Every structure is written in structure tokens, then in C-alpha cells.
Structure 1
């Protein structure tokens, strides 16, 4: 989701775990510096230490703010990927659940997607994807024809095969569920981790 470019006198850094710039197109942590960045939170030293850090690129002793957002840059434009608190470890790899959801909703036959993790009996995370089919008129997929399509195991296999073409294997969900309608916020956006009418997978 494009979120624009930095304002004048504001510096936007997309950084890795070591606070080093990532390559263009790669996802990283969004940090802001420059005009308008405060010195910290009023009387909240712990939160200030967590969110504010010296700006390693300014050379003037100023600070930068860790937004908690994961973004990437494309042609100078910042694109939102996910919140940092939705970053999980799968098979030892850091995984952005929003990145998987974005790939799924790029499909013409998927209206919305929510990806969640559940721990197996060994304590390892397994990815589950809940999908909402898109009807021909673009509405939520509650039509019988859409439900039949998304209950088809061949359709599920096709989705997984196509995800393997664009994502590493550890980011491809092992289980797909659909149809089901994710719970939404007042703006109509899918609420991460919640799906109406769906309980925890068995």
C-alpha cells in the first residue's frame, strides 16, 4: 500500500535489524528524522528509549524515531508492508504476515486475506491463511459459486503453487481456509488475526 514520500525537511530511513539501509525494494523498518521529530515521550523514559535513537546518518547529534512500521521503497515512494509487531518467526526466519497477505490479495479471485500463526505441539509456528473470494461484481464472496470454487482442493493447490513462485517456501501457508469473511474495522479493512465464523484450526 503506497503511503507517499517524506515531507520537506523530514528524512525517512528504511533500515534492517542493524540500523543499516536495506536495498531498494526490500522491506525494512521505517525510521523518521529531521524537523518535527521530538526528543522523546513526556515522563516515559522506557518508551522513549524503545522508540527514539541517535540518527546515525545525520552527524549533528539529532535523533530518529522508530515508527514500528515495515515499509519498502519503489521509485522513491514508500509502501506500507506491515506493522513490526506482526513479525513472527517461521522455521527460524523472520516473516512479515502482511507481506503474505499482500501477495494473496493481488490475486483477481481473492477479495481479502488474513494470515495467522498457530503453534504446533513442538512449539513451532505454522502459517494459516483465511481467504475471502471475490465475486465477479467485486463484492464479498458469499455467493454459492464462489464458495464452491474456494472449497475446491485444486484451487487451493493452485494458490500455493503460485505463491511458491513469488515467496520463499517458509512464507507459504501450509493451510488455506475459505470462504470466510475476516472481521473488519470501521473503515472496512480486514482485521489482522480475526475471521468471522472461524475458530482456531484443528
Structure 2
């Protein structure tokens, strides 16, 4: 399925969940859909850290559901985060992986072991009970219960690779502004203390 279709479907399920975005195709599509009004999401400007940041947010804010929307290129750089997510298995954490088997941000190349890696199987082998692969919107719809019910879920969305030179919609803000907008959203909307008395 196309990445924009998968992320579009996911955006229609979104209400008040906190969203952590990895660097890559998933982030580009999420920003294209949500635009500049999206303060509920935090965009990691470093590959490989979205899973760890999102897990930490889920631990710190157990009363809120946290979505991590990551890419397989980003996950490849921190594969051990699967083990940590599996061990802690936070019931308020939902991990979504857009898998196109390439480093899409730089128009390829293929990921290591691209043709063979089964990310959901890796998660299951680590102890994640609710780990699934989906490759169509119908399969996403069938897996909707994983999103709607409490419990850690690891959903791999197999998406088409974009051709080189394709459009790359990006965040409207630089990293520091994204950080402060997200922090103020947590404080103002949810009463979660993030910033110190001096505002940082």
C-alpha cells in the first residue's frame, strides 16, 4: 500500500494520543496531513531514537496513550529498542512501523537484509504478543482493535517505496521550536510539567 494511504488511515483514527515521529517517510507524510497546527506530535530529528523517546514518554505519562510512528530505516539504527519495548510492554504504547525496506529520506539505498527481515516476527520472538504485519488498508482496518484497546501493540505497515526525487513534505518548524511547541502542549492541555521556571 502507499505510505500516504497508510498514514492517512492512521490519522483518521487519531484523537488525543501523543505522537512521536521518527525521521523518514512516516514523518513526511504525517506533516503533510496535519500541517502546522499539529502540536500533539514530536518530530525526532535524529534517526533511531523515536522508539526510545516514545517509550520514555509512555512510562512518564501512563494516563495518556502514546503513538510512535517510525520508519524501518530509523529502527534499523536502534534495533535493540524492540527488546526494551517488549520488556516494559507499556499498555499505553502503540508502535507503528512504516516499512519500505530502504532509507527513503535519502532516496535509497536498501536496508541491510531488506528482502528477508520480518519485523513483526522479531517483535514476537522478543515477547510482544500483539505484533502484526499489514500490507493493505483492509488489513489495517482488520487490525483496528490493536489501536482501540489497551495493551502494547507493534504494527508493521508494509508500504511502497517512493521513487527517487519524490516530494518530501517536512515539518514547518526547526527542531527547537518543535520541542517547545510540544512541551507547551503537554503543559497547557494535559498539565504535565515539562519546562522549568525559566521556560526551558
TM-score class, shorter-chain normalisation, is: under 0.3
Larger relative contact order, structure 1 or 2 (CA cutoff 8 Å, min sep 6): 2
Higher-Rg member (1/2): 1
TM-score with structure 1 setting the length:
0.23
Q: Which has the higher helix share?
A: 2
TM-score with structure 2 setting the length:
0.23
Q: Which has the higher strand share?
A: 1
